[in-house]
Amino acid sequence: MPFDAYFKELYAIAEQGDAREESFYPALADMLKSIAERTGRKHVRVTMLPKPTDAGNPDFRLWNGSDRVIGYVEAKRPEEHLDAIEDSEQLGRYRATFPNLILTNFCEFRLYRNGERVQTVLAARPFAMTHLRTVPPVEKADELQALLDRFLDFSLPKVFTAASLAVELAKRTRFLRDVIAEQLALEAEQLALKKDAPGILTGFFEAFQTYLIGTLTPEDFADLFAQTITYGLFTARIRANGAFSRRAAFDNIPHSIGVLRDLFRFISLGDLPEQLAWCVDDIAEVLAVADAPGILDRYYHEGKGSDPIVHFYETFLAQYDPAERERRGVYYTPEAVVDYIVRSLHGILKTDFDKPDGLAAKGVTLLDPAAGTMTFIARAAALAVAEFEEKYGAGGRADFIRHHILKSFYAFELMMAPYAVGHLKMSFLLEELGHRLCDDERMPFYLTNTLDNEELEHSRLPGFSALAEESRLAGRVKQETPILVILGNPPYSGHSTNVGKWIRRLIETYKQVDGQPLGEKNPKWLQDDYVKFLRFAQWKIEQTGCGVVGMITNHSYLDNPTFRGMRQSLMQTFDDIYILDLHGNALKKETCPDGRPDKNVFDIRQGVAIAFFIKHGGKTKTPAAVRHAELYGTRESKYAWLGAHDAKTTRWRKLTPRAGSYLFIPRDESS
């Protein structure tokens, strides 16, 4: 057994007198290699990580040298007591992330599976080496051999559901985020000391700051970049045939999604820092062993179960960072809500805009300015294709998708994870509808900040041209392309980070009512993201001259006094306004009129409403006609009602908003 030689080597190192923790690493690495070779595991490679901080990766990675990670080892000095280490924040992160982990002080070995300690072996007494100054005798060689066999035999499970795979990816992405933050800080230190050119991560950070989010912090960048890597790998894995790894990912990123290809030219082909490479390899291996294509295939091609993309996005965010999800106001829109809005818009185009084919009509342009995973666009595309096929047959379906959907159904998104997944989702959906995307085709779904309309110069940063091009294409849609239909579920965030000059200038319109300032001491609610997205939609329809907006948002603007200028402005721009108040406001403790509980259609406490704003063109000074309907009850009853109705079959009540308050809810204002 190699254990005798191992402990003799440890003793020799300790006797040198100035031994640091890292001094013992080679002895442990040699012992692990020897055990692997003696037991027929000659494929096992042991890699030591020279880490610059204590918060990065574990000290050792055992893997096959290409695409399979076996496990990790975290080592501490021989005199360290492992009970204290086990309870530390650092080891808590490791245990939460890595399913096969050993903690050791070179004499005691603790094996963890999925965060739980499953075996402990005290193979020798550190006291003998550190105080008695003698070679510690091996006490439990057989038990140590069994523990190491168990460690070396580990492999990831091959059966994942969409939800369980999302959880595994979220754990690793959270760890990757921390490593990226550390590497970025290290690059900043090196840049300050050596005055060298910026590191590659710093380059990405500056590019994202320039072309996406001007207020981006290093912490936010680490979050965004980590999610981008994970969902880029996921996209590549779905397209990959055969073996999959970090190195293989680049070849499977669609050529038409240049932003991801720029990033993966670095991730797959570049010289990654070892810490970063370990993390990305680990995520790639999870995807390699999981039947990721099969998970999606079972839904899209067999029609079973619910949308796995939804499981991924929601489950991933809930596991990855629930506070971030709530802060950004990101929640998946229920199918019944999407269906009601899209079918209603389809009908409004027919009745109000002389478009007999609705969403399938030539010349109809559509935009979701906060598209997420493309839920609204996907439903609109499916309805448009169904309308076309019903009227004109299936023969021209592929050409219809190519020339109408791919040319006229636009979408914007700021967050990289849903951007990557949204492109993936649409490629599957369009194939199901009758058109497989060619290598040079893509949905006009752009990574951009909808609420930032400043002109940006072309990138001077080498390797980041795609991000600049994406920004340019989105800018053309914002500035030049007439949009007839705007729809979606914009984020609700009272503490908005969208503070650009352009959107703040537009919001100033809402701070006036009847030609006078609002007089509010703190009109902060006008800075909520959903208000800004509604203002963007209003501005864009004004640019087009006619059109319709269909959105679900926070319902506070319907009657809150702070929004009276907003309500008046909307009435001045549009000809017809339809408000379907879905209530569900737990913050106000809303109940049904008969006293029964009233539930939200989302898992949030803020009440919501669906609104349609219609502008026919040739608007006179007559304010919009405002109509109102409302829905109380259980979540399930609301879903059922929405699934069975649209704007045409909804029983609307006409309101007469009174000057000064311009309320969008029924209220006796005669007094």
339 and 319 in one domain?
Answer: no
The helix/strand count (H/E) of the chain reads as 26, 17
Total number of domains constituting the chain:
3
94 and 175 in one domain?
Answer: no
pLDDT at position 294 is: 74
Residue 369's CB is within 10 A of a number of other CB atoms, namely 26
Query: For 370-457, where are the alpha helices, taking DSSP H only?
Result: 375-392, 397-400, 406-408, 416-433
CB 478 within 8 A of CB 452: no
Region 65-92 average pLDDT: 89
Q: Which two tokens stand for residue 2?
A: 């190699």
46 beta partners: 62
Instruction: Write down which residue in 134, 152, 170 finishes a domain.
Output: 152
Q: Which residue has the higher pLDDT, 521 or 241?
A: 241
CB 422 within 8 A of CB 411: yes
Whether 344 shows a pLDDT value over 80: the answer reads yes
Where residue 319 falls among pLDDT bands split at 50, 70, 90? confident
> In Å, what is the CA distance from 450 to each residue of 228, 379, 467, 479, 488?
19, 21, 15, 11, 13
pLDDT digits (tens, 9 = 90+) for 528-571: 999 999 999 999 999 999 999 999 999 999 999 999 999 999 99
Is the residue at 664 inside a domain? no
> In Å, what is the CA distance from 634 to each residue of 98, 208, 475, 602?
41, 42, 42, 11
Q: Which residue has the higher pLDDT, 408 or 252?
A: 408
pLDDT at position 54 is: 47
pLDDT at position 305 is: 44
CB 340 within 8 A of CB 642: yes
Whether 416 shows a pLDDT value over 90: the answer reads no
pLDDT at position 130 is: 75
Is the residue at 671 inside a domain? no
90 and 10 in one domain?
Answer: yes
Where residue 418 falls among pLDDT bands split at 50, 70, 90? confident
> In Å, what is the CA distance from 197 to each residue of 204, 210, 214, 292?
13, 18, 21, 39
553 beta partners: 609
DSSP 465-481: HHHHHHHHHHHHHHHT-
pLDDT digits (tens, 9 = 90+) for 628-662: 999 999 999 999 999 999 999 999 999 999 999 99
pLDDT at position 196 is: 65
533 and 406 in one domain?
Answer: yes
pLDDT digits (tens, 9 = 90+) for 168-210: 899 899 989 999 999 999 888 888 777 667 788 998 898 888 8
Instruction: Write down which residue in 274, 304, 328 finishes a domain.
Output: 328
Is the residue at 518 inside a domain? yes
Is the residue at 661 inside a domain? no
pLDDT at position 457 is: 56
pLDDT at position 50 is: 59
Q: Coil, strand, or helix at residue 70?
A: strand
**Each residue of 26-41: b (16+ CB within 10 Å) or e?**
ebbbebbbebbeeeeb
CB 523 within 8 A of CB 529: no
CB 65 within 8 A of CB 143: no
649 and 539 in one domain?
Answer: yes
Q: Which two tokens stand for residue 621?
A: 């000074």
123 and 28 in one domain?
Answer: yes
Is the residue at 663 inside a domain? no
Region 443-450 average pLDDT: 93
pLDDT digits (tens, 9 = 90+) for 594-614: 999 999 998 888 999 999 999
CATH number at residue 351: 3.40.50.150
Where residue 371 falls among pLDDT bands split at 50, 70, 90? very high
> In Å, what is the CA distance from 328 to each residue of 415, 431, 567?
10, 32, 24
Q: Tell me which residue has tokens 């020897």.
A: 34
177 and 65 in one domain?
Answer: no
85 and 182 in one domain?
Answer: no
Phi first, then psi, for residue 428 (nearest 5°) are: -70, -45
pLDDT at position 431 is: 86
Q: Which domain holds residue 77?
A: 3-152
Region 661-665 average pLDDT: 96
318 and 339 in one domain?
Answer: no
418 and 363 in one domain?
Answer: yes
Q: Which two tokens stand for residue 78?
A: 């021989």
* 521 Cβ neighbours under 8 A, 6+ residues apart: none
> In Å, what is the CA distance from 256 to each residue of 59, 385, 423, 439?
39, 23, 10, 7
Is the residue at 457 inside a domain? yes
DSSP 242-278: S---HHHHGGGS-TT-HHHHHHHHHHHHS---HHHHH
Nearest CA among 235, 286, 250, 229 for reference residue 69: 286
Is the residue at 169 inside a domain? yes
Is the residue at 662 inside a domain? no
510 and 472 in one domain?
Answer: yes
Q: What is the pTM of this model?
A: 0.82
CATH number at residue 123: 3.90.1570
586 and 462 in one domain?
Answer: yes
CB 555 within 8 A of CB 609: yes
Whether 500 shows a pLDDT value over 80: the answer reads no
